[in-house]
Amino acid sequence: MAVNPPALSALEPVVGIRLGTGKANIRKPDRRDLVVIECAPGTHSAAVFTRNRFCAAPVIVAREHRTQGAPRALIINTGNANAGTGDAGIADARACCAALATALGCDAQQVWPFSTGVIGERLPVERIIAGIPACKSALSENGWNDAAYGIMTTDTVPKGTSRRATIDGVPLTITGIAKGAGMIRPDMATMLAFIATDARVAPQVLEQALHRAVDASFNRITVDGDTSTNDACVLLASGTGASIEAGKESERIFAQALTEVCSVLAQAIVRDGEGATKFITVEVDGGASEADCLEVAYTIAHSPLIKTAFFASDPNWGRILAAIGRAPAAQLDVGRVSIHLDDVCVVRAGGLAPDYTEARGAAVMRQAEIAIRVNLGLGAASARVWTTDLSHDYVRINAEYRS
Amino acid sequence: MAVNPPALSALEPVVGIRLGTGKANIRKPDRRDLVVIECAPGTHSAAVFTRNRFCAAPVIVAREHRTQGAPRALIINTGNANAGTGDAGIADARACCAALATALGCDAQQVWPFSTGVIGERLPVERIIAGIPACKSALSENGWNDAAYGIMTTDTVPKGTSRRATIDGVPLTITGIAKGAGMIRPDMATMLAFIATDARVAPQVLEQALHRAVDASFNRITVDGDTSTNDACVLLASGTGASIEAGKESERIFAQALTEVCSVLAQAIVRDGEGATKFITVEVDGGASEADCLEVAYTIAHSPLIKTAFFASDPNWGRILAAIGRAPAAQLDVGRVSIHLDDVCVVRAGGLAPDYTEARGAAVMRQAEIAIRVNLGLGAASARVWTTDLSHDYVRINAEYRS
């Protein structure tokens, strides 16, 4: 069902980062649903969390533990988001951290918890704790592929990728895994991503690199605009590989590789979006500001009318034009707007392009991957987001989810 | 298909306002698709138009003519929105105005044009002009019901209502008609409303009353947030009935009756929303400001996840809670939020209400009309919007629309 999902190849190990995956029977029997990630001493970290003000208990606890420094371990469960569970949920998250800390011989505050699954049910803490020994036994630097499966919920495919580079002859590795079938399922706690590198990076450089990479990748995808209560992305840097220095070429190489990893993972989430039959890139150029370009891009990407038209392979340019017209961009001159579907010019100077034919538009629309390219004709700013169409299956999946 | 649509009863005539409806074969044969509304000399007017920056040619021309004063006539066609048609579309709209002006013996600038239908096709001006004599012959103060049918496009039911009141013993009548199947179809030029009253009202009082009424009615409905390129609402006041004075009781009575007319029409549009199986009222109380309440209400009303859950009659409170958490309200304290489905308390103090059961929630969700009542626990402000669920039929209708 996913749209051209990339195959999961063997993910590159990262020295100092070990992963162990087990089955804890959290929601369904005989399913990999618990993952432990252990970091070597001295590992640095960076993280971003959901901006949803109803954030889940594990997000609250992870943020709190983060103030104490980098983690020695992460504990990730699927099947239950531990969200909307109040003080009891926070105590449950702490109990999981404490149990893993005891097993690994570290402090409970050095463990960060992550949960994904249904909202509003108590976490089955005893089953999770009972599952920790198997995860600990499985800990391995080659555990990435198993972990990619272990963090899936309704994802139809596992998502992971690696990038390697060389800095002054010293190799650099970045490997990441993610889960999510669109940013569309707050009760499934949409998106988690765990990325590790062997780079030696100062914490503040790492933090800035992660924020920039996330902003260009995970913050540029949408299926229906619903932001999860559990979203999180963590970057671990074990420091055994190449050195990264702020403002130097090494930082540029690192940032580029990290952004590539994040972009592959983010696009994999959209390709696996609920009910998706099309992978749509919305590119907006020629804006007076990047913010304006983003407003236009998101207005297009969130329009149910445009998304259903793409599902129907209907080059309904009137819907795109109307979405641009209602976008809350500060500067917009409708007479300067042009729209392309891939390379086919549909709208020029705010009106139907004279050489456009429905046959040319329909040919593009039959593709599984399509770019909507808007030029605002005002300046040099640009922005890009990735999204899906809106299909019968989207309604079916989300209407039937709890039944 | 519409959710409990009000039956169209005999609409009250308004002295001085005559309507004539005809068949001009604009898009489909043998269909009422052309309406003329003629106003007695001395009629005042007020109007609001779409905020979409890609507005259609008739909106541009009507706005321009409006600067010359009140209209003597309106000409309304369905089947073609005359949008995205550039300078040629503007010339077409002017040609229709000129033809009607000649037929009625007034100035072309005293005619306001309105169009609704597909985007991007030239208006069939000759067929419209050929249809004017029949509309003129049909002009009657009792023409409201025919006109309610004449402005329909994909509406499944006609929409109209009347209100009567008495001010100092003098009767007051307000009658209105509207078209639209949700604010969801920019290429069907979603919403038009034409309202008339016999009240004697100064233009600035009329304008203010219309803006307030529209803000509490048409600006509080959404099906999917897509704003049309052709939306318009016109209020005509022939001045033969009761006198309305600013700041007096008469103004209050008039404003209330007008708001009732607009609210009935606005709710009728939502009830006829594409694919709607539920009529949902979102009430947000206890906010620090009305703007905050509106942000929360619209975030709920636009969430595809909430809308699909309602289609499935699933009391999925986690989705409502997550939508509130991501709403861009300036002040929000998640620990103070409560949520009711009708009278069933689901969330209290930001968590699941202790006495809530799925059976109680499911009983409410099986209803065709449901209120989502959110209390933010912060202040005295409130806001209310009306919307629909998101069904398989919504996708089918919008995917198949042009095929």
In this complex, is the C-beta atom of B290 within 8 Å of any C-beta atom belonging to chain A? no
Q: Which residues pair with A368 in a beta bridge?
A: none
Q: Give A229's contacts in chain B (Cβ within 8 Å).
A: 318, 321-322, 325
Q: Would you state the pLDDT for residue B402?
A: 54
State the best of A82, A321, A348, A391 to mutate against chain B, taking most chain B CBs within 10 Å. A321
Confidence of residue A90 (pLDDT cuts 50, 70, 90): very high
Asked if the structure places residue A9 within a domain, the reply is no
User: Residue B52 CA to chain centroid, in angstroms?
Assistant: 15
- Give CA–CA dist B354/B335, Å, rounded: 15
Q: Of these residues, A21, A43, A190, A388, which one is catalytic?
A: A190
Q: Give B226's contacts in chain A (Cβ within 8 Å).
A: 303-305, 319, 322-323, 326
- The reply to whether B326 and B265 lie within a common domain is no
To the nearest whole Å, the CA of B103 is away from the closest chain A CA by 32
To the nearest whole Å, the CA of B186 is away from the closest chain A CA by 6
Asked if the structure places residue B11 within a domain, the reply is no
- pLDDT of B24-66, one tens digit each? 999 989 999 999 999 999 999 999 888 788 888 999 999 999 9
Q: Do B226 and A398 touch (CB under 8 A)?
A: no
Asked if the structure places residue B205 within a domain, the reply is yes
- pLDDT of A336-346, one tens digit each? 999 999 999 99
Which residue from A199, A202, A204 is spatially nearest to A237, judged by alpha carbons? A199
- Give CA–CA dist B369/B347, Å, rounded: 20
- The reply to whether A212 and A249 lie within a common domain is yes
Confidence of residue B260 (pLDDT cuts 50, 70, 90): very high
User: Could you say which of B304, B317, B351 has the minimum Cβ distance to residue A226?
Assistant: B304
Of A46-55, B70-79, B204-213, B260-269, least confident by mean pLDDT is A46-55
* pLDDT of B180 higher than 90: no
The residues near B320 (Cβ < 8 Å, ≥ 6 apart) are: B300, B306, B339, B346, B347, B372, B374
Asked if the structure places residue B6 within a domain, the reply is no
- The reply to whether A154 and A57 lie within a common domain is yes
Report helix, strand or coil for B88: helix
Asked if the structure places residue A52 within a domain, the reply is yes
Q: Would you state the pLDDT for residue B231?
A: 78
Asked if the structure places residue B170 within a domain, the reply is yes
Q: Do A314 and B227 touch (CB under 8 A)?
A: no
Q: Would you state the pLDDT for residue B186?
A: 35
Q: Give A354's contacts in chain B (Cβ within 8 Å).
A: none
Of A373-382, B88-97, B173-182, B340-349, least confident by mean pLDDT is B173-182
Q: Would you state the pLDDT for residue B224?
A: 62
Confidence of residue A230 (pLDDT cuts 50, 70, 90): confident
Closest residue, chain B, to A53 (C-alpha): B325
Range(s) of the domain holding residue B374? 279-400
- The reply to whether B74 and B171 lie within a common domain is yes
Of B82-86, B223-227, B348-352, B354-358, least confident by mean pLDDT is B223-227
Q: Do B84 and A318 touch (CB under 8 A)?
A: yes
Of the candidates A271, A296, A329, which is a domain's last residue?
Answer: A271
To the nearest whole Å, the CA of A392 is away from the closest chain B CA by 6
Confidence of residue B225 (pLDDT cuts 50, 70, 90): low
- pLDDT of A290-326, one tens digit each? 999 999 999 999 888 899 999 999 998 888 988 898 8
Q: Give B54's contacts in chain A (Cβ within 8 Å).
A: 321-322, 324-325, 334, 350
Q: Would you state the pLDDT for residue B351?
A: 86
Q: Do A304 and B224 touch (CB under 8 A)?
A: yes
Q: Do B351 and A229 touch (CB under 8 A)?
A: no
- The reply to whether B228 and B297 lie within a common domain is no
Q: Give B312's contacts in chain A (Cβ within 8 Å).
A: 398-400, 403
Q: Would you state the pLDDT for residue B184?
A: 47
* Total tally of structural domains belonging to chain A: 2
Q: Do B186 and A228 touch (CB under 8 A)?
A: no
Q: Would you state the pLDDT for residue B188?
A: 36
Q: Do A86 and B350 touch (CB under 8 A)?
A: yes
Contact of B19 with B140, CB cutoff 8 Å:
yes
Residues 223-242 of B with CB under 8 A from A: 224-229
Domain of B314, CATH number, reads 3.10.20.340
Q: Do B229 and A322 touch (CB under 8 A)?
A: yes
User: Could you say which of A118, A390, A403 has the minimum Cβ distance to residue B314?
Assistant: A403
- The reply to whether A69 and A205 lie within a common domain is yes
Q: Would you state the pLDDT for residue A66?
A: 94
* pLDDT of B213 higher than 80: yes
- Give CA–CA dist B187/A319, Å, rounded: 6
User: Could you say which of B84, B325, B398 has the minimum Cβ distance to residue A321?
Assistant: B84
Distances in Å between the alpha carbon of A149 and those of A71, A268, A314, B400? Answer: 22, 14, 36, 38
If you count residue pairs, one on A and one on B, with CB atoms under 8 Å apart, how many are there?
A: 195
- The reply to whether B237 and B288 lie within a common domain is no
Q: What single string gives the DSSP state of each residue in B353-389? A: -TT--HHHHHHHHTSSEEEEEEE-SS-SEEEEEEEE-
Mean pLDDT for A76-96 is 93
Of the candidates A242, A271, A300, which is a domain's last residue?
Answer: A271
pTM of the model: 0.82
Of residues B216 and B23, more confidently modeled: B23
Of the candidates A271, A303, A320, which is a domain's last residue?
Answer: A271
Contact of A21 with A150, CB cutoff 8 Å:
yes
Closest residue, chain A, to B84 (C-alpha): A351
pLDDT above 90 covers a percentage of chain A that reads: 67
User: Could you say which of B120, B308, B312 has the minimum Cβ distance to residue A352?
Assistant: B120
Q: Do A322 and B54 touch (CB under 8 A)?
A: yes
Q: Do A322 and B186 touch (CB under 8 A)?
A: yes
- The reply to whether B264 and B127 lie within a common domain is yes
Average pLDDT score over chain B: 90
Q: Do A326 and B53 touch (CB under 8 A)?
A: yes
Mean pLDDT for B95-119 is 95
- The reply to whether A104 and A64 lie within a common domain is yes
- Tokens 């990435």 locate to A144
Mean pLDDT for A222-247 is 82
pLDDT above 70 covers a percentage of chain B that reads: 95
- Give CA–CA dist B251/B10, Å, rounded: 26
Q: What single string gives the DSSP state of each residue in B264-278? A: HHHHHHHHT-TT---
Q: Give B309's contacts in chain A (Cβ within 8 Å).
A: 398-399
Mean pLDDT for B316-332 is 89
Active site (annotated) includes residue B190: yes
In this complex, is the C-beta atom of A92 within 8 Å of any C-beta atom belonging to chain B? no
To the nearest whole Å, the CA of B217 is away from the closest chain A CA by 20
Contact of B78 with B123, CB cutoff 8 Å:
no
pLDDT above 70 covers a percentage of chain A that reads: 95
Q: Give B400's contacts in chain A (Cβ within 8 Å).
A: 312
- The reply to whether A150 and A204 lie within a common domain is yes
| ipTM of this predicted structure | 0.77
- The reply to whether B294 and B392 lie within a common domain is yes
Best mean pLDDT range from A38-47, A223-232, A303-312, B181-190: A38-47
- pLDDT of B369-382, one tens digit each? 999 999 999 999 99
Domain of A55, CATH number, reads 3.60.70.12
Q: Do A53 and B312 touch (CB under 8 A)?
A: no
- The reply to whether A210 and A151 lie within a common domain is yes
Q: Would you state the pLDDT for residue A258?
A: 94
Closest residue, chain B, to A347 (C-alpha): B84
Residues 19-78 of B with CB under 8 A from A: 51-55
Confidence of residue B19 (pLDDT cuts 50, 70, 90): very high
Q: Give B298's contacts in chain A (Cβ within 8 Å).
A: none
Asked if the structure places residue A235 within a domain, the reply is yes
In this complex, is the C-beta atom of B184 within 8 Å of any C-beta atom belonging to chain A? yes
- Give CA–CA dist A276/A272, Å, rounded: 7
Closest residue, chain A, to B336 (C-alpha): A54
User: Could you say which of A227, A351, A400 has the minimum Cβ distance to residue B84?
Assistant: A351
- Give CA–CA dist B258/B261, Å, rounded: 5
Asked if the structure places residue B347 within a domain, the reply is yes
